Amino acid sequence: MGKPEFVGKKSKAAGGWGALKSCGKKLLASGAPLTGAAAMLKANQPDGFDCPGCAWGDPEHGSSFEFCENGVKAVAWEATDKRVRPDFFNSHTVTELRRWTDYELEREGRLTHPMRYDATSDTYLETTWDAAFTEIGAVLNSLDSPDRAEFYTSGRASNEAAYVYQLFVRLYGTNNFPDCSNMCHEASGVALEQAIGIGKGTVVLEDFEKADAIFVIGQNPGTNHPRMLGDLRRAALRGAKVAVFNPVREKGLERFADPQDKIEMLTGGSKPIASEYYQVHLGGDMAAVRGMAKAVFALDEAARAAGNPSLLDHGFLEQHTSGLEHYRAAVEATSWDDIESQSGLSRAELEHLAGIYVSSERTICTWAMGVTQHRHSVATIREIANFMFLRGNVGRPGTGLCPVRGHSNVQGDRTVGINEKPSRAFLDSLEKEFGVSMPRRAGHNVIGAIGAMLDGSAQAFIGLGGNFARATPDSALIAKALRSQKLTVNIATKLNHSHLLPGEVSYILPCLGRTEIDRNAKGVAQIVTVEDSMSMVHGSGGINRPASPQLRSEIAIIAGIAAATVGSDVVDWAALSQNYDLVRDLIARTIPGFHGYNERVRKPRGFRLYNAVEHRVWHTRTRKATFSSAHLPRETEHQQALGEHGLFVLQTFRSHDQYNTTVYGLDDRYRGVYGERRIVFVNPDDLAEIGAESGDRIDIVGHHEDGVERIAESFRVVSYDLPRGSVAGYYPELNVLVPLASAGIESDTPTSKSVLVTFRLAEQRKAA
């Protein structure tokens, strides 16, 4: 079997020279080698901007520049010299642009002018900011209820932009806040809120220096949180165990050459990171964690029977938790058969892992999309919390629960009020501050908003960043939903598919990016603030010249729309847009934890938001850390696929050359794939069984029970090391297969990591 041309050498390790070389290429290709490189030196520095790449924390000590290949790509992509000017739109109709790929669209460069859609010519035409604000305000005010408008947020928006946005939208009269987090870490928020009383992680970066064991579940940090690899590597070097659960063997998690380490770079050496790598089945993590807990209980009994001290933290369990007995009963009632067949791991493996857990004084557990994008994600995360409670691994140095966030400020956006189900306390405090009543009805999340757009009850869509049409499931339906709107507005840095599905009235409003200097009318540079995965809030100020003199900041754009829609009686929008200190003062007055905001955020590393769990105070219903005692799912999609010939479960993940729907390039270096994204990774035995060879083209057909036909055409199969019955491919190309109707229990998150599919091979394709 010859190797297809797009399958090449896999990098021996993540990071290293490959990463450096790739960075150089990215900076050159972005058309901005110099500004890009200069900008990189300011990323995550006390006086620079927050890297838009990911939400991993910044080190406390020293200001040494932390090198990260994918951070370079994110910065270079924004700092490009290329521009999408009005003449670009004049020479391409929207219908024509819809045929371009995301990669081709974004590669054209930065948006420069406010644009309005003209249906007659099917093009976007240049307009003025004032005309845009006036018309947007008029359409919003013409709707028969504020609940007919949807206000989407993507997680790059700063705290200040997000706060001004939610304030405007609530004064307008709705809580319709579909948010990228609905497709991302929603399950973590819901589960942690129930388990520990706060929907965020409990660790700080320093905890990684103290932990004896770190469980990394369902994430690919080599690509998506490269700076985390540095922390894992340092932990591994000082002897901490790093146990990975991932169906796919991800290079970055196996070995890592540190680009900051000169010796390793010169010798080509690399250090192993994961001491333990377990290829759990898709959706099998709850079973795996339950298996470990079962083994921990057994080890504890054996220890006590032998007259040794208990392996559980009884002090913590008695004083701080509730529900242990029910949980223990649920664990006892779960059979090893079920655990093994659902997790795909053997009893012996799980007992071995339990051994690591009980010999570790301090344990951290991290997770991301491999855990959150399943039907039973909330139950899985609660199981992780249960497991960690057993030995008091929360609220103690070197321990904790660590959902690793996606977008660089997705956590901060939530903190400052982007929430379709706001707490009563928050609304009360807004009412007290502004002296007007706030909407109390719960609003729409992403799935709710799409439903409302489809059934005609929503008629306007505003997007503060992001790429709603491509990030959401069932791409064909979303296109219909957006096109049916009376108004669509996208505040964005780069052109994407969501902008090419205009409603009756449609605008693209170009904004400044993080890397750019944001000066007010008097020429005073403004800073914004963001919150990372460790709840650290810090300042971010751009250093590059704006991509176009026409650009406005997100805050100024929202302020403009707000003034034209709700007027300036209650809030002086113009004043806020000229001085972000005033926005921060409002945040400090209406949201707990932000006292002295303006002062504290100007300290080099900012400040950490109060986290009650650190003090072992639990804002749960029981006022304790709360065990759950759910059953395992009766059958996961993976089990279903294994039981039926020709059926597979597909996960949609990220390549090394993309940022969500932004595609930087067509390579996936760590997985050895070059120049091609329409591929699907399949286990070699499965390939043989279906009679296909690496490189063959197939169609992937959705298999959801709702009878809707979903087909992803002409993908190439690649033989890969992943469990039988499961396959993997890239988002967003495969979103056509993700059914809108399949969402997480309690989280409503699309199940992007467990989509049932079948394949159609060449002959069958011809016949179809």
Ligand X SMILES: Nc1nc2c(c(=O)[nH]1)N[C@H]1C(S)=C(S)[C@@H](COP(=O)(O)OP(=O)(O)OC[C@H]3O[C@@H](n4cnc5c(=O)[nH]c(N)nc54)[C@H](O)[C@@H]3O)O[C@H]1N2
Q: Binding residue for ligand X (CB under 6 A) from 651, 742, 747, 758? A: 651
Burial (CB < 10 A; 0-12, 13-18, 19+), residue 239, is exposed
Name which of residues 393 to 432 contact Mo ion (CB under 5 A): 406
CA distance 518 to 460: 29
Nearest distance from C-beta of residue 749 to Mo ion, angstroms: 10
Does residue 200 belong to the site contacting ligand X (CB under 6 A)? Answer: no
Residue from 532, 669, 699, 511 nearest 16 by CA:
669
C-alpha 367: how far from chain center: 11
Q: Is 445 in the site for ligand X (CB under 6 A)?
A: no
Cβ 722 to ligand X shortest distance, Å: 8
Whole-angstrom distance, CA of residue 19 vs CA of residue 440: 49
Q: In this chain, which of 162, 184, 558, 728 binds Mo ion, going by CB under 5 A?
A: 184
Whole-angstrom Cα distance, residue 271 to residue 3?
29
Helix (H) or strand (E) segment spanning residue 625: strand 625-626
Q: Is-contact 630 379, C-beta < 8 A?
A: yes
The DSSP code for 148 is: G
Q: In angstroms, what is the minimal distance from the CB of 97 to ligand X?
A: 13
> How far is Cα 756 from Cα 475, in angstroms, rounded to an integer?
17
User: Residue 679: beta bridge partners?
Assistant: 716
Among residues 79, 280, 299, 718, the one that binds ligand X under rule CB under 6 A: 280
Task: For Mo ion, give the closer residue by CB, 146 or 178.
Answer: 178
Q: Is 69 in the site for ligand X (CB under 6 A)?
A: no
Largest CA distance in the chain: 84
Measure the CA–CA gap between 312 and 190, rounded to whole angstroms: 26
Size of the site for ligand X (CB under 6 A): 61
Cβ–Cβ under 8 Å, residues 222 and 670: yes
Q: Does 163 bind ligand X (CB under 6 A)?
A: no
The residue within the footprint of ligand X, chosen from 159, 176, 220, 475 (CB under 6 A), is 220
Based on the shown chain and the rule CB under 6 A, indicate whether residue 189 belongs to the binding site for ligand X.
no
Is the Cβ of residue 300 or residue 516 nearer to ligand X in the bound state?
516
Nearer to ligand X, 321 or 652 (CB): 652
Q: Which residues contact 130 (CB under 8 A, 6 or more apart)?
A: none
Residue 377 lies near ligand X (rule: CB under 6 A)? no
3-state secondary structure string across 269-293 = CCEECCCEEECCCCCCHHHHHHHHH
Helices (H), 391-423: 410-415
Of 653, 681, 715, 720, the residue at the interface with ligand X (CB under 6 A) is 653
**Nearest-CB residue for Mo ion:** 406
> Binds 651, which of Mo ion, ligand X, none (CB < 5 to 8 A, cut-off by type)?
ligand X
Residue 113 binding result from ligand X, Mo ion, none, given CB thresholds of 5 to 8 Å by partner type:
none
Residues forming beta bridges with residue 83, ordered by sequence position: 110
Q: Could you say whether residue 371 binds Mo ion (CB under 5 A)?
A: no
Q: Minimum CB separation from ligand X for residue 317, in Å? A: 27
Nearer to ligand X, 137 or 370 (CB): 370
**Does the footprint of ligand X cover residue 54 (CB under 6 A)?**
yes
- State phi, psi for 77 to the nearest 5 degrees: -60, -35
By CB under 6 A, is residue 217 in contact with ligand X?
yes
Shortest distance in whole angstroms from residue 185 CB to Mo ion: 7
Answer yes or no: are the C-beta atoms of 343 and 284 closer than 8 Å.
yes
According to CB under 6 A, which one of 186, 285, 340, 733 is a site residue for ligand X? 285
Give the one residue of 109, 137, 400, 406 binding ligand X; rule: CB under 6 A: 406
> Which range touches ligand X (CB under 6 A), out of 330-338, 395-403, 506-514, 530-538?
506-514
Gyration radius of the chain over CA positions: 25
Complex with ligand X: residue 167 or 500, whichever CB lies closer: 500
For the bound state, the minimum distance from the C-beta of residue 180 to Mo ion, rounded and expressed in Å, comes to 6
| CB 214 within 8 Å of CB 243 | yes
- Residues recorded for the chain: 768
CA distance 498 to 503: 11
Let me know: does 150 contact 461? Beta carbons within 8 Å.
yes
Residues 235 to 264: which contact ligand X by CB under 6 A? 245-248, 250
Instruction: Give the binding site for ligand X (CB under 6 A).
Output: 53-54, 70, 106, 154-156, 180, 183-184, 217-220, 223-225, 245-248, 250, 280, 282-283, 285, 368-370, 373, 406-407, 464-468, 471, 491-494, 496, 511, 513-514, 554, 651-654, 658-662, 731, 735, 738, 752-753
Instruction: Give the binding site for Mo ion (CB under 5 A).
Output: 184, 406
